[in-house]
Amino acid sequence: AQSVAQPEDQVNVAEGNPLTVKCTYSVSGNPYLFWYVQYPNRGLQFLLKYITGDNLVKGSYGFEAEFNKSQTSFHLKKPSALVSDSALYFCAVSQAVTGGGNKLTFGTGTQLKVEL
Amino acid sequence: ETGVTQSPTHLIKTRGQQVTLRCSSQSGHNTVSWYQQALGQGPQFIFQYYREEENGRGNFPPRFSGLQFPNYSSELNVNALELDDSALYLCASSSAKNIQYFGAGTRLSVL
């Protein structure tokens, strides 16, 4: 089974500082990886995806993620954090399911808190 | 916003009752997936519908069932509600196997 792990329940960073939210994956074959963000009482918003190609993926709101095959990691990064980035971040992997569809398997989430 | 709408936003039911949740997919999307997100956890895949057929199912019992309509909107039905069914239910729409875009969810409380 394919899975992702988010080793940090919470990450605290000062506004203006760079941020990193960690994710490692365990998949057979080529990974299809995603980052989503969830604000309180809201659904998930897509940030970015890695399918193939460049290891540095750029996404929405200034976020980017670095795919590292040797370390099986897909860390989310942003050069300068904003207070408004405070939210719950989920890493996910897409995998095929019986019947021809595909599902997202999510990590447990990392709460990002950006402080003034 | 994604264009995926879910109704109702909140729902309170008692144990043993049945509930129907609804989802309108984003224009141009023919695939709908449903997820259950318990408090403090990541979303868990329930099932997926493609062109009105179920084409994938997660580890949920048969009392969780669904439908997809010709306009690609979808329903999630849960029979014989249990306390552990209390969660945020998320619908996501996509075009085939592309990016899944989520609605704001339905918060179900089972008392």
Entry field: residues in chain A: 116
Pair A74, A21: CB distance under 8 Å: no
Q: CA-nearest residue of chain A to B96?
A: A101
Three-state SS at B88: strand
Q: Which residues of chain B have pLDDT under 50?
A: none
> What is the pLDDT confidence band of residue A88, given thresholds at 50, 70 and 90?
very high
The pair of structure tokens assigned to B101 is 């875009």
Q: What is the mean pLDDT of chain B?
A: 94
Query: What confidence score (pLDDT) does residue A28 get?
Result: 87
Q: What is the DSSP letter of A98?
A: T
Structure tokens at A51: 């399918």
pLDDT, position A10: 98
Query: Which residues, including other chains, have CB under 8 Å from residue B15's CB and lie 6 or more apart?
Result: B81, B82, B83, B110, B111
Tokens of B61: 């019992």
Mean pLDDT of chain A: 94
The minimal CB distance from B42 to the residues A34, A49, A108 is found for A108
Query: Does A106 contact B at CB distance below 8 Å?
Result: yes
Cis preceding-peptide flag for B8 (omega within 30 of 0): yes
Token pair 């019947």 in the structure block, residue: A99
Residue length of chain B? 111
Of B42, B41, B21, B26, give the one whose Cα is nearest residue B99. Answer: B26
Exposed / middle / buried, residue B71 (Cβ in 10 Å: 0-12, 13-18, 19+): exposed
Confidence of residue A96 (pLDDT cuts 50, 70, 90): confident
Write out pLDDT tens, residues B16-29: 999 999 999 998 89
- Give me the pLDDT at residue B1, please: 66
- What is the distance between the alpha carbons of residues A113 and B6, in angstroms, rounded to a whole number? 28
Residues from B contacting A (CB-CB < 8 Å) are 2, 4, 6, 31, 33, 35, 41-45, 48, 50, 54-58, 90, 92, 97, 99-105, 107
